[in-house]
Structure 1
Amino acid sequence: MSTLEFIVHVPHPGTRHAALDLALDLAARLQARLSGVFAAALPSAAFAVPEAITLQVQEAEQARKHAAAKTAWWQELLRQRDLHGDWRVGEGDLAQVLCLAAASADLLIVQRPQTREDAPIGFGSTSRAVFTAAKPVLIVPAAGAASVGQRVLIAWNGSLESARALHGAASLLAHADAVHVLDGSRERGPEGLAWLPPLDLPAWFAQRGINAAIERLAALGAPAPAILARAQALQCDLIVLGAWGTSRLTEMVLGGVTRALFRECPLPLLVAH
């Protein structure tokens, strides 16, 4: 019996969306428990206008009651796939609620906002959840995906974040039809930082019974377009990578792999910080 536990954010209880459909498929394939989470949010802006507080609180309470009444809907979705899990309704900041839910789970599944709220600087709810959750997060594009985790590209650079993403993806990789690794790690890190010899990637995969094809990532050019191009050439349906190996402020000013892929990647991303 699988002990995997997945959490999926359900922004509109009673309504299906791309991340939910993918979560149901993935949980059924890996025989994982799947719990849905809704957060009744009270916008912080309400407290800046005292006369708006009462109305905002009432709206949040109505949203919470509406969501709480969807337990039967959720259980029917699970029953159709022979799955098990809970329906959980929280209150407050969305990213914080998702982090609370993910704390006792193996994977958090969210949908990338159609409005690309994370595009300008990466401080939207999705990015904040990735940054705070301390668990891998599967980010699903709004257009959805026909499958996920059957053909996987791992963007490896030897960082702590990269290792967390790789470890978090292990259960998916064990069931994948093909696993490809783009190794962009360096022999030594910047002076003054902690350093270990590079992870023996072939041994790591062999110990877990995963057949992975490993190739070096060319040092020339921006990494994000190269990663995406290789994933598409290999017909991958998932990219695994560490998020924000550099600071989010640095990525805001100079750009970066995480920010670029969050904005442009049409494939699901499994990321960890």
Structure 2
Amino acid sequence: MAYKTILAHMSNEEVSPAVLKVASLLADRHSAHLVGLHIQPPLDLYVSELPMPIDVTREYSKRQRQKQARLSDLFESATQTQNYVSEWRCVDAMADSVLNALVEQGNTADLMVISQTEGDDSDSRFRHLPEHVLMACGRPLMVVPAGSLVDTVAERILVAWDGRRESTRALFGALPLLRRASEVRLHRINQPHKDRHRIVGITEELANTLGRHGVALEIVHSDAHGNEIAEELMGFTRDMDADLMVMGCYGHSPLREFVLGGTTRTILAETPIPVLMSN
């Protein structure tokens, strides 16, 4: 199992360099096909039932073409001397939403890399984009802190695992990275009121399974709960100088609106290193 198609979401010039750097490092290490993806959002201007003024649409299209050209140049300059195959892709969201277009594209790749935030982009349609993509996308998502220009990624990995579906999907979605990492620490977050002996046993069984894939790891148990979990996880990443965290994305959907759990929300907002997540 390996990542053969990696998709880097390049939304604007402020956050795209960090996303591209991480995606490029991964593509080089896995000899993957790297796709630089820009989604052109539809013009979202409320004008009642009147036709859109032609001057408005022309100006919007002109600005979008200029933005696409700048991002394409950024992608080409970063990838033209690399050994992996690269592809620039611009998708017009048309009447569809940026989220739907991004999820649709993401579902065709092995891994999607996206920014933690859209920076100073004032378009409200991009607000909380990673959270919504995590909810809807069927592929692992790597979230990159804005402004972070790392030298390594997935060399030293901290895995947060609590035995549930979300963290298990994230863990096995990260298997190509775990197999190549120089250090992997499995941070077992123990659920309250669970039998300790059983927790230790099932965690060892997981380690044995990963070992058959060539993953050597250290197991650390934690009884943290609530808000303590995020703080403890980020503390462990600092202690081991981790350059990637792997964890599940947790939340609930009251009245069809997805609300992230506290730990997931805190990690997404505050992590200093890339995080691979799966829902």
TM-score, scaled relative to structure 1: 0.81
Once residues 167 and 214 of structure 2 are traced to their aligned partners in structure 1, the CA distance between those partners, rounded to angstroms, is 20
Per the alignment, residue 94 of structure 1 pairs with 98
The amino acid of 2:140's aligned partner reads P
1:262/1:2 CA distance change after superposition, 3 Å: closer
The CA distance in 2 between the partners of 1:166 and 1:5, in whole Å, is: 19
Alignment of 1:180 with 2:185, yes or no, is yes
Q: Does 1:209 align with 2:214?
A: yes
Say yes or no: does 1:241 pair with 2:247.
yes
Any conservation in 1 of the 2:6–2:34 contact (CA below 8 Å)? yes
**Which region of structure 1 is more displaced relative to structure 2, 163-172 or 78-87?**
78-87
Normalised TM-score (structure 2): 0.80
Distance change (3 Å), C-alpha of 1:53 and 1:272: farther
Deviates more, 1:235-244 or 1:50-59: 50-59
> Displacement, 1:12?
3.4
How far the C-alpha of 1:216 sits from its partner, in A, is 0.7
Q: What secondary structure, in the 3-state scheme, does the structure 1 residue paired with 2:86 have?
A: coil
**What per-residue deviation string (whole Å, max 9, x for no partner) do you get for residues 210-256 of structure 1?**
10111111235621101110111111111100001x31669998951
Shift of 1:151: 0.3
Return 5+ residue gaps in structure 2 as ranges. Answer: 195-200
The answer to whether the aligner puts 1:111 opposite 2:112 as a matched pair is: no
After TM superposition, list the pairs within 5 Å mapping 1:1-273 onto structure 2: 4-12=4-12, 17-42=17-42, 44=44, 46-47=45-46, 49=48, 53-54=52-53, 57-63=57-63, 65-66=65-66, 67=68, 74-75=75-76, 77-92=78-93, 93-113=97-117, 115=119, 124-144=128-148, 145-186=150-191, 198=202, 200-219=205-224, 222-244=228-250, 246-247=251-252, 256-273=262-279
Amino acid at match of 1:239: M
Q: Secondary structure at the match of 1:104?
A: coil
Say whether the 8 Å CA contact 1:34–1:86 is kept in structure 2. yes
The amino acid across from 1:215 in the alignment is V
Distance 1:101 1:178 in 2: 32
Distance 2:138 2:2 in 1: 22
When residues 240 and 116 of structure 1 are mapped into structure 2, their CA distance, relative to the original with a 3 A threshold, is farther
Alpha-carbon spacing, 1:185–1:57, altered in 2? closer, same or farther (3 Å) = farther
Aligned residue pairs: how many?
A: 260
Shift in Å, 1:38 = 0.5
Change (3 A) 1:53 1:159: farther
Q: Are the aligned partners of 1:39 and 1:64 in contact in 2 as well (CA < 8 Å)?
A: no
Question: In the alignment, residue 182 of structure 1 is paired with which amino acid?
Answer: H
| CA offset digits 1:187-224 (Å, max 9, x no partner) | 988xxxxxxx9562112211110101111112356211
Structure-2 change in CA distance of 1:17 and 1:73 (3 Å): closer
SS of the residue corresponding to residue 185 of structure 2 reads strand
| Equivalent residue letter for 1:180 | R
- C-alpha contact (below 8 Å) 1:13/1:38 kept by paired residues: no
CA distance 1:218–1:123, shift in 2 (3 Å): farther
Further displaced range: 57-66 or 127-136: 57-66
Amino acid at match of 1:150: E
Question: By how many angstroms is 1:26 displaced?
Answer: 1.6
Instruction: State the one-letter code of the partner of 1:258.
Output: T
1:149-174 Cα deviation digits (max 9, x unpaired): 00000000112111111111111111
Q: Calculate percent identity across the aligned residue pairs.
A: 23
CA contact (8 A) 2:131 2:260 kept: no
Give the match's secondary structure for 2:267.
helix
Aligned to 1:193: none
Rounded Cα–Cα distance in structure 1 between residues aligned with 2:79 and 2:229: 39
Partner Cα separation in structure 1 for residue 157 and residue 2 of structure 2: 21
Equivalent pair of 1:64/1:89 in contact (CA under 8 Å): no
Moved more, 122-131 or 65-74: 65-74
